[in-house]
Amino acid sequence: MNALGRPRLHFRCTDSTNARAYELAVRGAPHGTMVTAAEQTAGRGRQGRVWVAPPGRSLLCSVVVRNPGPLLSLTTGVAVADLVEASTIGRRVEIKWPNDVLIDGGKVAGILVEGRPQERWAILGIGINVALDLDELPEQLRGDAATLGLAATASETVLDGLLTHLARRLSEPSDAILREVRQRDALRGNDVRWSGGIGIGDGIDAEGRLLVAASDGRHALDAGEIHLIRARTD
């Protein structure tokens, strides 16, 4: 099997690295093929949102994965959290289910997994705020964002680290991934709101679903949008 990150296609500017990688995968690109860019004009986020990243200050990459195992989205979150932890000292690194990576409560990385499960391939699209100055973001995004606070020149080193963590985590069994996600679960014990109601984050089940304790019982959520309402202080 190919090493992750090879072959690599780098763009100074493209619409979306996920869109480029998707095209390559449809045409048969091998496992590990990676697309990176310094700038995206139409970066894609989850739930149909856009991903905003000022040029040259983020890691923007998409990796083709063939024959993915279960829990791919959570696995990618764990690998990114590993990388973030290794790049920051003394900061609290958490995963907000399913795979937002937070530093001290602010989102430092986003992950968008797309693909064709019936053809057994997926694209792991990862955006990490490496050198972002939060003031560069539109005002409405600033409050929820975080940055690694590194120099822009660190992006290639960050990418190398990411690929190492990703290769390792992709080879691990589900129970190891679940253990890591549970240890870094930003929603556990916190008030959450989802499309069906409000409750308190109550862990992650064996299928990788978010458990929420609500007044009408315990819910296992596998899709939809989760909002952290506020951190509990009691």
Binding positions for ligand BTN, rule: CB under 6 A: 16-18, 40, 43-46, 49, 51, 60-62, 100, 110-112, 125-127
Are 77 and 98 in contact by the 8 Å Cβ rule? The answer is: yes
Residue with the shortest CB distance to ligand BTN: 110
Nearest distance from residue 153's CB to ligand BTN, in Å? 19
Nearer CB in complex with ligand BTN: 17/75: 17
CA distance 58 to 38: 7
Whether 45 and 143 have beta carbons less than 8 Å apart is answered as no
CB nearer to ligand BTN: pick between 18 and 88: 18
Report the nearest approach of ligand BTN to the CB of residue 49 (Å). Answer: 5
Taking the complex as a whole, how short is the minimal distance between the CB of residue 111 and ligand BTN, in angstroms? 6
Gap between the Cα atoms of 24 and 35, Å rounded:
9
Token pair of 57 as six digits: 């200050």
CB of 221 to ligand BTN, least distance (A): 17
H/E element, 65: strand 58-66
CB 144 within 8 A of CB 186: no
Return the number of the residue (59 or 211) whose C-beta is nearest ligand BTN.
59
To ligand BTN, the closest distance from the beta carbon of 192 in angstroms equals 17
And the tokens for 78?
Answer: 């764990």
Query: Nearer Cβ to ligand BTN, position 18 or 75?
Result: 18
Contact 180/167 with Cβ under 8 angstroms?
no
Cβ atoms 34, 4 nearer than 8 A: yes
Query: Which helix or strand (DSSP H or E) is residue 198 part of?
Result: strand 197-204
Q: How far is the CB of 18 from ligand BTN (least distance, A)?
A: 4
Nearer to ligand BTN, 60 or 204 (CB): 60
User: Measured from the CB atom, is 51 or 121 closer to ligand BTN?
Assistant: 51
Q: Which of helix, strand or coil describes residue 190?
A: coil
